[in-house]
């Protein structure tokens, strides 16, 4: 979700059987929760990250459900230093409970962040973690996204956490540069169709993030997409695929054999 648009994606599922009938129709309602494709898998290799506790600090915690206050004090503040030199802050609201509860939540994000393409992880500033259950959202200019503790657990249960982190990270790291760029607009126009209904509804705010997940998997792990989805991606978004090839085709840092320092909290 992009904060520019508060639209919640409808959860109606789309039958694959209907896809062949209408060539230019979106394949799914949305990319993350309206299908059972495991685009990114929790056992995929991740750039190792070292989680460190920076104590309790005052931070800007956008997205609080119970207050309009932007600033919060006593925020459990962590930082992950990744082996490719990228660093991502994890700011956990004190309402989640104890420091141990906060560390547990922060630790859940280390792996998914380590599995992002380097180009995205290196641009991500921080993640805000709130208590409660709400859909994640991102701020494209602030280069951060926010998740909610109960929703995080739900997404883990449905194997959608990796995809949620990826989707929000696209907003937080690629939207500002690309979502309204001439290159992206040309690709959208050349394709003339959308991969999900959510992307079609919000072409400026959501199409890049929705399309990115399909493109990333198509380029890195095409075998994870059912054959009819591969054909759908090739039919609906060939120009966007070329666009993403230049972004996701960048070489990943070689961190083979790099072990996190021993004083890390996680992993």
Nearest-approach distance from CB 93 to Zn ion, in angstroms: 22
Residue 35 touching Zn ion (CB under 5 A): no
In this complex, which beta carbon is closest to Zn ion, that of residue 201 or of residue 206? 206
Give the torsion sign (CA, 14, 16, 17, 22). Answer: positive
In this complex, which beta carbon is closest to Zn ion, that of residue 2 or of residue 35? 2
Cβ contacts of 133 within 8 Å, gap of 6 or more: 148, 149, 150, 151, 154
Strands, E assignment, the chain: 49-60, 71-82, 87-92, 126-130, 137-139, 144-148
Q: What is d(CA 214, CA 237) in angstroms, rounded to the nearest whole number?
A: 10
Residue 147 touching Zn ion (CB under 5 A): no
Radius of gyration of the chain (CA): 18
In this complex, which beta carbon is closest to Zn ion, that of residue 102 or of residue 212? 212
Residue 131 touching Zn ion (CB under 5 A): no
Number of amino acids touching Zn ion (CB under 5 A): 4
Nearest-approach distance from CB 142 to Zn ion, in angstroms: 15
* Beta-carbon count within 10 A of 260 CB: 17
In this complex, which beta carbon is closest to Zn ion, that of residue 94 or of residue 142? 142
- Of 197-216, binders to Zn ion (CB under 5 A) are 206, 209
Residue 2 touching Zn ion (CB under 5 A): yes
Residue 195 touching Zn ion (CB under 5 A): no
Cβ contacts of 141 within 8 Å, gap of 6 or more: 176
Residue 196 touching Zn ion (CB under 5 A): no
Q: Which residues bind Zn ion (CB under 5 A)?
A: 1-2, 206, 209
């Amino acid at each position: 979700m992009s904060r520019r648009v508060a639209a919640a994606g409808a959860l109606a599922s789309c039958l694959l059987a209907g896809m062949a009938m209408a060539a230019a129709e979106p394949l799914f309602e949305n990319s993350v929760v309206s299908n059972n494709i495991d685009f990114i898998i929790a056992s995929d290799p991740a750039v190792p990250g070292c989680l460190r506790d920076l104590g309790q600090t005052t931070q800007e915690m956008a997205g609080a459900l119970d207050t309009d206050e932007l600033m919060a004090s006593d925020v459990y503040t962590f930082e992950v230093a990744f082996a490719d030199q990228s660093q991502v802050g994890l700011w956990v609201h004190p309402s989640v409970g104890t420091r141990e509860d906060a560390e547990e939540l922060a630790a859940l994000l280390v792996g998914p962040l380590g599995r992002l393409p380097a180009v995205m992880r290196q641009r991500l500033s921080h993640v805000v973690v709130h208590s409660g259950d709400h859909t994640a959202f991102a701020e494209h200019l602030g280069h951060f996204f926010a998740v909610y503790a109960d929703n995080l657990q739900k997404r883990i249960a449905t194997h959608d956490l990796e995809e949620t982190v990826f989707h929000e990270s696209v907003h937080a790291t690629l939207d500002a540069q690309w979502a309204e760029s001439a290159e992206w607009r040309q690709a959208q126009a050349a394709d003339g169709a959308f991969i999900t209904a959510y992307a079609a509804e919000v072409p400026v705010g959501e199409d890049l993030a929705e399309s990115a997940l399909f493109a990333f998997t198509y380029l890195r792990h095409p075998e994870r997409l059912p054959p009819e989805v591969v054909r759908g991606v090739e039919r609906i978004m060939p120009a966007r695929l070329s666009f993403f090839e230049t972004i996701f085709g960048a070489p990943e840092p070689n961190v083979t054999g790099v072990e996190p320092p021993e004083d890390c909290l996680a992993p």
